[in-house]
Amino acid sequence: MSQTINRGGSAAGSEHKISGKGLKTGQLGLLAVVVLGISTIAPAYTLTGALGPTVATVGLQLPAIFLIGFIPMILVSLAYRELNADSPDSGTTFTWVTKAFGPWVGWMGGWGLLAANIIVLSNLAGVAVDFFYLFLSQLLGNPGIADLASDKLLNVITCLVFVGLSVWVSYRGLHTTKIVQYGLVGFQVLALGLFAVMAFANWSASETAIAFSWDWFDVSKVESFGQIAAGISLSIFVYWGWDVCLTVNEETANGKKTAGLAGTLTALAVLGIYLVVTIATMMFAGVGDSGVGLNNEENHANIFTALASPVMGPLAILMSLAVLSSSAASLQSTMTAPSRSLLAMAHYGALPKPFAHMSGKFSTPGFATIAAGVLSAGFYAIMHVISENVLNDTILALGLMICFYYGLTAIACAWYFRNSIFSSARNFVLRGLCPVLGGIGLFVVFFQTAMDSWAPEFGSGSEVGGVGLVFILGVGILALGVVCMLIQARLRPGFFKGETIRKDTPALVVPE
């Protein structure tokens, strides 16, 4: 049910109006939102792809890097929590940065969020395809079936099917999403737990095993700041996604409090999962460059494929199914963020009106959900046909997008609350210190990664005119956002003149 609030603005004779977008309220409780957050982060999917490259960068200090990467995440999550308590809105970064810094910066914040989600949706679909055929090959005892994922046409067609199923579930609303996610998330967490237990139990039998050491948590043993920044950039990717908890704030019971708390709890839960599984994996596999060692480049793309059989024996198929369910679950739940961001941007006049169209039957942003699916599937198809290197380097560029919009949101929190920061010790810490430290940390990583990615050897080694492809893609995506913003400013000047959102625009009322 749409709600409208009329409240006097700061300008003489002006009146602000802010209304609900038609989203169905009170659908989710705390547990459901946390499950949605864990699903979006996709622990099984992220770990299988991130452990190898991160070990290659920082070696035995992998646990330390995960802890360091978690620090800006938890600081930023506190900033999100404060902003959500003040102004709950499904637009999150777009809405909050607009209220803090104005429409131009806010639009770019929304673009960063959308770009990151569209990129990762395409990657999730690709991973789901790979593990679908791997699972079938293991289930049927025919290794040749796994090779079907290498057929570009079949790969793209299967990808489109996965995206279509995810769009269908998302279109039907959060109630259907919740039911699906309970099953998929529950299974992957149980599978990861079983893997960790068996790795701990059998680690001494592995030829590449190493004993646990507290030195793994000593960041001073990392050789350079560049390695720390690269490692943190990778770890930021594995934590990314908890902010979906805030995206559904308008659809959550007592969304002002529940959504923010769920984001923080999700980050903490995922940290626990990562540390346990990472330590178990390191003890069993070691960090060597041969066999099942984590530094073996042949294992980097998919650590669990290499380790599942040695660790779990006949139960190895469970890990393939866990990664498949993880990527499929994340593909579906991640669709929530861009659809609601597109809805909010259109609702406030920053994008064409069709993106604000709601499904009358399911009370979901129908047009935006379909659009997000089409964009992600199209992006994957084009990139997959052009080159695997382009697709992989685009994923590396994703880290730049995450640091950009997370960091921007954190700094916006401190600026938005600048007049109340010194009113209490609590406000100083949660509205000032934590957001500033988190935002600065992410922007440091952003600029360090951007400088490193200028070199052609960063990522796949592809280059254009001597400049690394990762840099071109990352900066190019942001530059494309500027172009799109200028076009929208010409077509829809109202938003960019501050007619729809300003700092003194009243917050949306979210039912208890």
CA neighbours closer than 13 Å in the CB half-sphere of residue 292:
23
Percent of the chain with pLDDT strictly greater than 90? 47
Cα–Cα distance between 109 and 439 in angstroms, integer?
A: 13
Q: Residue 9: pLDDT above 60?
A: no
Per-residue pLDDT of 68-103, as tens digits, reads 888 888 999 999 999 999 989 999 999 999 999 999
pLDDT at 182 over 80: yes
Q: What is the mean pLDDT of residues 169-173?
A: 91
Instruction: Return d(Cα 303, Cα 285) in angstroms, integer.
Output: 10
The span from the CA of 512 to the CA of 510, in Å, is: 7
Q: What is the pLDDT of residue 8?
A: 31
Greatest CA separation found in the chain? Answer: 77
Q: What is the pLDDT of residue 303?
A: 87
pLDDT at residue 287 above 80?
A: yes
Q: Which of 101-110, 228-237, 381-390, 464-473 has the highest mean pLDDT?
A: 101-110
pLDDT of residue 509: 53
State the Cα–Cα distance between residues 311 and 434, nearest whole angstrom: 40
Mean pLDDT of the chain: 87
Q: What predicted TM-score, i.e. pTM, was given to this entire model?
A: 0.87
SS3 content of the chain, % helix, strand, coil (to 5): 75, 5, 20
Beta bridge partners of 19: 4
**pLDDT class of 247 with cuts at 50, 70, 90:** very high
Decide: helix, strand or coil at residue 511. Answer: coil
**Does residue 508 carry a pLDDT above 70?**
no
Kindly tell me the sign of the dihedral angle through the C-alpha atoms of 132, 133, 138, 139: positive
Q: Are 87 and 443 in contact (CB under 8 A)?
A: no
Please state which of the ranges 110-124, 276-290, 456-470 shows the lowest mean pLDDT.
Answer: 456-470
**What is residue 458's predicted lDDT score, i.e. its pLDDT?**
80
